[in-house]
Amino acid sequence: MDALQQAFVTEAADVLEALEEALLALDENPDDRDRVDAAFRALHTLKGSGAMAGFTEVERFAHQLESAFDAVRSGERVLDPGLVSVALSSIDHLGALIDAGPTAAEALVAASDGLLAQLSGGSGGAGKSSSGAKKAAVTREIWGQTAFLIAVSPEPDLLLDGMDPFELVYGLTKLGSLRLVALDPEPPLLDDLVPGHVHLSWRVLLVGEIDPRQIDDALFFVADRGVVTVQKLGDDAREDALSEQAEAIEEALVAGDERQLKAILFDTPTHVKLPPKPEAKEVKAEETKKEDMVKVSVSKLDVLVDLVGEMVIAQARLAELAKRRDDPELESVAEDLERMCTGLRDSTMDLRMLPIGTTFSRFKRLVRDISHQLGKKIQLITEGEDTELDKTVIDKLGDPMVHLIRNSLDHGIETPEVRAAAGKPESGTIWLSARHSETNVVIEVRDDGKGLDAGKIRAKAIERGLIDPSTKLSETEVQNLIFEPGFSTAQSVSALSGRGVGMDAVRTAVRALRGDIRLTSTVGEGTTLRIELPLTLAIIEGLLVQLDRSRFVLPLGQVEECIEVPGPGPRRYTELRGELVPYFSLREWFGAEDSNVENPQIVVTHIDGRRFGFVVDHVIGQQQTVIKSLGRAYRGVEGVSGATILGDGEVALILDPAKIAAAMSEPRARAA
Amino acid sequence: MASRVESGPTGVRVIFEGALGVSDAPVLAEHLADALASDQPVSLDLGEAASLDASVIQLVLSARASAEKSGLPLRLGFYGYALEGALHQLGLARLLDDPWFAEAEKVQYFLFADDGEAA
C-alpha cells in the first residue's frame, strides 16, 4: 500500500469508530438529528477518502449506506432497531473491506451485496417509513427571492478527506443564482504549506426561492469542518442584479460591504441608514482554532521511549559518578540533567497516553449485541472516558475487560423475568468507570445483577480441590477464589464467557500489566470488579532494596511502608495498626543463607487487597526504574518481572510481589 | 507523471500535466520547491494540465508568494482552460487580471479542426 492508502486505513479506523458510536447512540435515541448527521458525514468521508485511495468497493458500499442515511435525514426512512443492526453489521463489513486492501475479493463483494439488499429493505423492509408523517415533518416552506450572504472557511485539510470545495459550490448553484469570491488570499509560503491543504475562504451571495435549511444541507459537510455563517440579507431581492452588476457585487463581496450588496440587490440608495446588523448564524464557531495534530506511528514512540529510558540510565550513572568524585561542578551538571531528564521522561510518557474511552466505546456495541442475544435488557453506563492510560496498557486491557463485561452480561445480570420477580427493574445496568488514583488508574466494572453466592463458590472450590473443607476464609476471600485457575460458577459453559478462559486469565493479564484486581459482591445486589493499573509500563517508580551485595526493585505503587523486623526469631506475622500482617524473608525466597544484618527491614506491600511484608537487609530508597525485559533464559524465573540498570551500571532485578506472596503463602493456605 | 522539470540555458521549466488533484500535490510541491531552490529563473507551465483542483491552485499561489518574498524569478509561462476553469470555480477569476497571470501565454485548443478553426 502506498502512503495515501496507509493514511486512509489509519483514518478509516477512527471514522468507523465514530460511526459505531453514533449508531449506538441512535439505537437509544433515534430522533437525535445530530447523530444522524454525524453518521451521514462519517460515511461521506469514508466514501470520498476511500475513492481517493483507490478502495473502490469501500466507496461503493459506503455510498449505498450513505444513501440510506440520507433517506433517514430527509424523513423518507425511519431509523428503527432493524436498520441500526444492519448498519452496525455494515460497519463491521466496511472494516473487513478496509483490512482486505484496495482490491476486495469476490466473497467480500458478495457480502456487500447481501448487506445492501438488507439495507434497501429486502429483508422485510425494515426502516421504511410506513406513513407520510415523517415526510410531512420536512415539507419545505417556499420563500420568495431571498438573498443570503454566506461565509465559508473550511479547515485546510478538507480536500485530504475527499471533500472538494468545488462540490460545495455545486451544491449551492442548485439552490439559486450565486456569486462567489475567494477572499483575498494571503497564501502560506511554499515551505510552510502542507501539500493538499487549501487555505482559502469564500463569501457567497445566493439569491433564489430558498429555504434556509436547504443551505444548511448544501453546506452540511463543511459545517462540521470549519466555520460557516449564513446571513439573510432580505426578501424580494433582484436576482437579475447578479448578472447585470456582477463586477460591483464581486467588489462588495471581496470588501465584505454588506450595505453595498443590499443597495444593489434591493434598489436601495447607498446612503440610507444602515439597519442593525442581523445576527449571523454561527454553525460552528467554536472550531475556529482547532489544535494542530500530527499522527505518529507507535513504533516511533517506542523508539523515543527506549531512548529516553537509556538517557535516564545514563543520567543516573552521571549522578552516581558525580557523587563518588565529590565534584560540586559535576554534581551541579548532574542535577540540571536530572531535572531535564525528568521533564523529558514525563513529556515522552505523556505522548503515549490515550483516553480509555477509546476502549469503552467498543463495549457499548458488545453490551448491545450480547444483551439482544441473551434476551436481557441491559444498559451500559460509562464514566471517566477521558482518563488517560499508556497505549500499551489500553491495548492489553481490551481482552480482560471484554471478559469481565461478558461475565456480567452472561452470569451477573438476570433475565427480565427473574429481575421482576426479585423486585428489581427489568433492565439491568453495568457501570464502567475509570479514574486516576495517585500514580495508578482505577477501572471498575459494576453490575446490579444477582451477585456471587459465597456458599456455592466455596462448595465448588472444595469439589475442585482448591481449598480444604476445613479452610477458614472470609466471604471476600471465598469470592476471590473465582480467580483461581479453572474456576467457574456457571451451571453450564455458555458460548459467551465460559469458553474455558476463566477469571484466572483476567487476573494473569492484569498482573502482567503490573496491576491488581479485586472483587466485592453482595448476593442479590451485584458485583464490583476493581482493577488498579500503573499509568505506564516503560518507566516506574521503584523502591531499591538490598540483600547481601545484590540489589532489587519493588514497584513503589505496591509498597505501603517500611518497618523494622519485630525482634529475632522465626516469626511470620507482625501487628500493624491492629492488623496481623504476614511477612516473608526474601533471603528465604532466593535460597540464600540467613544473615547477621543489623536492623533488617520489612517492606509492607498491598496485594489483592491484603498486606504482605518482605524482609530485606537494607532499604536504599526510591529509584526511577527503566524497565528492561529479561533475556529468554530468565523469563521463566518466578517472582521476577524484569530488570533495570542502576546508576553504577549494575543490573537489579525487578520483583513481582504478588507472585512471590502467592507462592510463599500457598502451602499454608491449603493446609490451614 | 504529474509534472516534469526541464532545465535549459534560460532556466528551469516546471510543467504540470494531466488531471491534477490532491494526491499529486506532494510531488508537485517538491518539484516547485526544487526549482525555486535552483537559483535560476523558473517558468511554470500549466498549459498541459487537463484539470486542477483547489490544492494545486493553492500550490501555485503559495509558490508565487514564496518567489515574490525571496525575490526569485518565477513566472507563469503558459496556462489553459484548466487554470481558467479552476479559478472561476474557486471564486478567484479576478486573479486572471493580475499581471502575473495576464502576462502568461494562454494555450489555445482547437477541438474542431474540421471546422477550419484549427491552427
Chain A with chain B: Cβ pairs closer than 8 A: 84
Burial class of residue A628 (count of CB atoms within 10 Å of its CB; 0-12, 13-18, 19+): middle
Distance of CA A518 to the CA centre of its chain: 23
Beta strand A378-383 pairing with A440-447? unpaired
| Spatial distance between the Cα atoms of A669 and A484, rounded to a whole number of angstroms | 13
State ipTM.
0.89
Strands (E), A39-154: 145-154
Q: Is A4 on the interface with B (CB under 8 A)?
A: yes
Q: Record the cell numbers describing residue A540, joined without a space.
A: 516506574
The answer to whether the Cβ–Cβ distance between A200 and B36 falls below 8 Å is: no
pLDDT tens, A338-352?
Answer: 888 888 888 887 888
Mean pLDDT of A551-557: 89
In three-state secondary structure terms, A429 is strand
pLDDT tens, A496-511?
Answer: 444 335 677 788 888 8
Distance of residue A18 Cα from the nearest chain B Cα, in angstroms: 25
pLDDT tens, A567-619?
Answer: 766 568 888 888 889 998 888 888 888 777 888 899 999 876 788 999 999 99
For the stretch A449-477, what's the b/e string if a residue is b when 16 or more beta carbons lie within 10 angstroms of its beta carbon?
A: bbbbbbeebbebbeeeebbeeebebebeb
Residue A624 has pLDDT above 80, yes or no: no
Residue B111 has pLDDT above 70, yes or no: no
Rounded to the nearest integer, the mean pLDDT of chain A is 79
Q: CB of A23 within 8 A of CB of A37?
A: no
Name the nearest CA neighbour of A646 among A314, A197, A212, A166: A314
CA angle B26–B27–B29, rounded 5-degree value: 65
Distance of residue B10 Cα from the nearest chain A Cα, in angstroms: 23
The full length of chain B comes to 119
Interface test with B, best of A198, A200, A242, A249 (most B CBs within 10 A): A198
pLDDT at A546: 93
Listed range (A19-28, A169-178, A654-663) with the worst mean pLDDT: A169-178
Q: What number of H helices and E strands is found in chain A?
A: 22, 22
| Kind and range of the H or E run holding A63 | helix A56-74
pLDDT at A348: 85
pLDDT tens, A70-103?
Answer: 888 777 788 887 888 888 888 888 988 888 888 8
Q: Which of B25, B29, B94 sits opposite A250 (nearest CB)?
A: B94
Of chain A, the percentage scoring pLDDT greater than 90 comes to 10
Name the nearest CA neighbour of A428 among A527, A542, A338: A527
Which residues touch A624 (CB under 8 Å, ≥6 apart)? Answer: A312, A316, A342, A345, A539, A541, A542
Q: CB of A503 within 8 A of CB of A482?
A: yes
Of chain A, the percentage scoring pLDDT greater than 70 comes to 85
Which residues touch A254 (CB under 8 Å, ≥6 apart)? Answer: A181, A183, A184, A203, B94
CA angle A443–A447–A450, rounded 5-degree value: 140
pLDDT at A570: 59
Mean pLDDT of B71-95: 87
| Spatial distance between the Cα atoms of A494 and A516, rounded to a whole number of angstroms | 27
Distance of residue A300 Cα from the nearest chain B Cα, in angstroms: 23
**Cα-based distances in Å from A371 to A26, A415, A521:** 17, 10, 22
| Spatial distance between the Cα atoms of A589 and A640, rounded to a whole number of angstroms | 11
| Spatial distance between the Cα atoms of A613 and A195, rounded to a whole number of angstroms | 61
Q: What is the DSSP letter of A192?
A: G
Q: Contacts by A131-137 with C-beta closer than 8 Å and gap 24+? A: A134/A75, A134/A76, A134/A78, A135/A74, A135/A75, A135/A76, A137/A75
Residue written as grid cell 437579475: A240
How many other C-beta atoms can be found within 10 angstroms of the C-beta atom of residue A585? Answer: 22
pLDDT at A18: 83
The answer to whether the Cβ–Cβ distance between A165 and B54 falls below 8 Å is: yes
DSSP A76-105: SB---HHHHHHHHHHHHHHHHHHHH-SS--
pLDDT at A604: 94
| Kind and range of the H or E run holding A547 | strand A539-547
Q: CB of A155 within 8 A of CB of A186?
A: no
Virtual torsion, Cα A556, A559, A563, A567, nearest 10 deg: -120
Mean pLDDT of A504-520: 83
Q: Which residues pair with A519 in a beta bridge?
A: A529
Q: Which residues pair with A229 in a beta bridge?
A: A151, A282
pLDDT tens, A389-420?
Answer: 888 888 888 878 888 888 888 888 999 999 99
Residue A284 has pLDDT above 70, yes or no: no
Q: CB of A361 within 8 A of CB of A21?
A: yes
Residue A669 has pLDDT above 50, yes or no: no
The answer to whether the Cβ–Cβ distance between A193 and B58 falls below 8 Å is: yes
The answer to whether the Cβ–Cβ distance between A200 and B32 falls below 8 Å is: no
pLDDT-based confidence at A217, cuts 50/70/90? confident
Rounded to the nearest integer, the mean pLDDT of chain B is 84
pLDDT at A614: 93
In three-state secondary structure terms, A506 is helix
Distance of CA A4 to the CA centre of its chain: 25
Q: Which of B21, B66, B91 sits opposite A190 (nearest CB)?
A: B66
How many other C-beta atoms can be found within 10 angstroms of the C-beta atom of residue A638? Answer: 10
Q: Which of B21, B58, B69 sits opposite A199 (nearest CB)?
A: B58
Residue A364 has pLDDT above 50, yes or no: yes
Q: CB of A661 within 8 A of CB of A612?
A: yes
Q: Record the cell numbers describing residue A26, joined without a space.
A: 441512535
pLDDT tens, B2-20?
Answer: 888 998 888 899 999 888 8
Name the nearest CA neighbour of A302 among A352, A342, A354: A352
Three-state SS letters, A223-281: HCCEEEEEEEEECCCCCCHHHHCHHHHHHHHHHCCHHHHHHHHHCCCCCCCCCCCCCCE
Rounded (to 5) percent helix, strand, coil in chain A: 45, 20, 30
**Cα-based distances in Å from A35 to A22, A23, A29, A162, A498:** 5, 8, 9, 21, 36
Q: What is the DSSP letter of A350?
A: H
| Spatial distance between the Cα atoms of A282 and A231, rounded to a whole number of angstroms | 9
Three-state SS letters, B59-82: HHHHHHHHHHHHCCCEEEEEECHH
pLDDT tens, A136-192?
Answer: 333 333 344 889 999 888 888 878 777 777 677 667 877 888 888 888 668 899 999
User: Which residues of B fall below an 8 Å CB-CB distance to A?
Assistant: 21-23, 25-26, 28-29, 32-33, 36, 53-55, 57-59, 61-66, 69, 89-92, 94
pLDDT tens, A446-498?
Answer: 999 999 888 888 888 888 888 888 888 888 888 888 888 767 544 444 444 44
